[in-house]
Structure 1
Amino acid sequence: MHATYNWPAAILAVMLFAGCAARKTTASKPETNESAEADKLLYERALNDLQHNRFELSRLSMETLINTYPDSEYLAKAKLAIADSYFKEGGTTGLTQAVATYQDFITFFPFLDEAAYAQMQIGMAHYRRMEKADRDRTEALEAEAAIQTFMQKYPHTELAPRAEQRLREVQEVLADGDYRIATFYYIRRIDKAAAPRLLDLVSRYPLYSQADRANWMLASIYERNEHNDVASTYYARLVKEYPLSPLAGAAKAKLVKFGAPVPQPDPTALARMQKEQEMPRERPGFLKRPGELLKSGPDVSAAARVGMPNLTPQTEDATDTLAPGAGLSVVAAGGASKGSGGTGAYVQTVSPGTSDPPAGSSRSAASTGPTAAPNDPSAGGQADPVGTTAGQSANGNADPPSQTSQGTTQGANQGESSSKKKKSKKQAQLQPQ
Structure 2
Amino acid sequence: MNRLSRSFAVLALASLVLSGVTAQAKEKNPKHKKNQDLSANPLANVNSKQPDKELFDKAMVAMKKGKYDVARLDLQTMLNTYPDSEYRMRAKLAVGDSWFKEGGTAALTQAESEYKDFITFFPNAPEAAEAQMKVGDIYYQQMEKPDRDWNNAQDAEKEYRTMINMFPDSPLIPRAKQKLRDVQEVLAERETQIGLYYGAKENFPASIARLQTVVDTYPLYSRSDQALLAIGDAYAGEARMVQIAPGINPAVRERLHTLYEDKAAAAYAKVITRYPMAPRVEDARDRLVAMNKPVPEPTDAAVAENDAEQKSERPIRFTDNILGIIKRGPTVVEAAHVGEPSLDDPKRTLAPDITKENIALFNEAANAGKPATAAPVTPTGPNEPPRSDQPSAAPELAAPAGGSGVGVTIVNAPNGNASAPSGTEAAPATGAAADPNALVKPVGPTNEALPPVDKPAEAPDQVNDIKPGTAQQQTAADAAKKKPKANLDEESSSKKKKKKGLGKLNPF
- Specify the TM-score bucket, using the shorter chain as the normaliser: 0.5 to 0.7
Larger CA deviation: 188-197 vs 124-133: 188-197
Equivalent residue for 1:239?
A: 272
Matches within 5 A, 1:52-201: 52-201=65-214
Post-superposition shift, 1:299?
0.6
> Which amino acid in structure 2 is aligned with residue 300 of structure 1?
V
Change (3 A) 1:237 1:291: closer
SS of structure 2 residue aligned to 1:348: helix
Equivalent residue for 2:362?
A: 363
SS of structure 1 residue aligned to 2:318: coil
Change (3 A) 1:260 1:149: farther
SS of structure 2 residue aligned to 1:70: coil
Give unpaired runs (5+ residues) of structure 1.
Answer: 1-34, 320-329, 334-344, 350-359, 366-399, 403-433
Rounded Cα–Cα distance in structure 1 between residues aligned with 2:193 and 2:122? 42
SS of structure 2 residue aligned to 1:361: helix
Change (3 A) 1:363 1:105: same
SS of structure 1 residue aligned to 2:228: helix
Write out per-residue CA displacement over residues 278-298 of structure 1, whole angstroms, 9 at most, x where no aligned residue: 457363426x87454231110
Instruction: Tell whether 2:349 aligns with 1:332.
Output: no
Structure 2 counterpart of 1:301, from 321, 324, 333: 333
**Considering only CA atoms, is the larger Rg found in Structure 1 or Structure 2?**
2
Rounded Cα–Cα distance in structure 2 between residues aligned with 1:248 and 1:36? 67
Post-superposition shift, 1:36?
9.1
Equivalent residue for 2:412?
A: none
Query: Contact (CA 8 Å) 2:204, 2:235: kept in 1 or not?
Result: no
Query: Contact (CA 8 Å) 2:192, 2:227: kept in 1 or not?
Result: yes
Change (3 A) 1:164 1:280: closer
Asked which structure has the greater RCO (Cα within 8 Å, sep 6+), the reply is 1
Post-superposition shift, 1:154?
2.1
> Which amino acid in structure 2 is aligned with residue 91 of structure 1?
G
Matches within 5 A, 1:345-360: 346-348=355-357
Rounded Cα–Cα distance in structure 1 between residues aligned with 2:99 and 2:317? 30
Rounded Cα–Cα distance in structure 2 between residues aligned with 1:97 and 1:137? 21
Rounded Cα–Cα distance in structure 1 between residues aligned with 2:122 and 2:73? 21
Write out per-residue CA displacement over residues 322-369 of structure 1, whole angstroms, 9 at most, x where no aligned residue: xxxxxxxx6539xxxxxxxxxxx74528xxxxxxxxxx735289xxxx
Post-superposition shift, 1:317?
1.6
> Which amino acid in structure 2 is aligned with residue 166 of structure 1?
K
- Identity over aligned residues, as a percent? 39
Matches within 5 A, 1:213-292: 213-226=226-239, 227-255=260-288, 262-279=295-312, 281=314, 283-285=316-318, 290-292=322-324
Rounded Cα–Cα distance in structure 1 between residues aligned with 2:311 and 2:66? 40
Equivalent residue for 1:354?
A: none
Post-superposition shift, 1:191?
1.3
Matches within 5 A, 1:402-413: none
Give the structure-1-normalised TM-score.
0.63
Post-superposition shift, 1:138?
0.6
Rounded Cα–Cα distance in structure 2 between residues aligned with 1:301 and 1:401? 50
Instruction: Tell whether 2:44 aligns with 1:45.
Output: no
Equivalent pairs counted in the alignment come to 300
Rounded Cα–Cα distance in structure 2 between residues aligned with 1:293 and 1:92? 22
SS of structure 1 residue aligned to 2:163: helix
> Which amino acid in structure 1 is aligned with residue 328 of structure 2?
S
SS of structure 2 residue aligned to 1:363: helix
SS of structure 1 residue aligned to 2:178: helix
Change (3 A) 1:120 1:194: same
SS of structure 1 residue aligned to 2:187: helix
Change (3 A) 1:148 1:38: same
Query: Contact (CA 8 Å) 1:204, 1:310: kept in 2 or not?
Result: yes
SS of structure 2 residue aligned to 1:300: coil
Write out per-residue CA displacement over residues 69-115 of structure 1, whole angstroms, 9 at most, x where no aligned residue: 22222211111001111111112122221111111111111000111
Write out per-residue CA displacement over residues 260-319 of structure 1, whole angstroms, 9 at most, x where no aligned residue: 554332434322332344457363426x87454231110111111221111114xx5258
Query: Contact (CA 8 Å) 2:143, 2:329: kept in 1 or not?
Result: yes
Change (3 A) 1:245 1:364: farther
Query: Contact (CA 8 Å) 1:346, 1:363: kept in 2 or not?
Result: no
Rounded Cα–Cα distance in structure 2 between residues aligned with 1:195 and 1:83? 44
Post-superposition shift, 1:51?
1.6
> Which amino acid in structure 2 is aligned with residue 299 of structure 1?
T
Post-superposition shift, 1:253?
4.3
Query: Contact (CA 8 Å) 1:178, 1:201: kept in 2 or not?
Result: yes
Query: Contact (CA 8 Å) 2:278, 2:310: kept in 1 or not?
Result: no
Equivalent residue for 1:312?
A: 344
SS of structure 1 residue aligned to 2:352: strand
Rounded Cα–Cα distance in structure 2 between residues aligned with 1:61 and 1:291? 39
> Which structure has the highest helix share of the two?
1
Change (3 A) 1:165 1:280: closer
SS of structure 1 residue aligned to 2:357: strand
For the aligned residue pairs, the C-alpha RMSD in angstroms reads: 2.9
Query: Contact (CA 8 Å) 2:192, 2:211: kept in 1 or not?
Result: yes
Query: Contact (CA 8 Å) 1:348, 1:361: kept in 2 or not?
Result: yes
Query: Contact (CA 8 Å) 1:120, 1:150: kept in 2 or not?
Result: yes
Query: Contact (CA 8 Å) 1:39, 1:69: kept in 2 or not?
Result: yes
Query: Contact (CA 8 Å) 2:313, 2:335: kept in 1 or not?
Result: no
Post-superposition shift, 1:64?
1.2
Equivalent residue for 2:450?
A: none
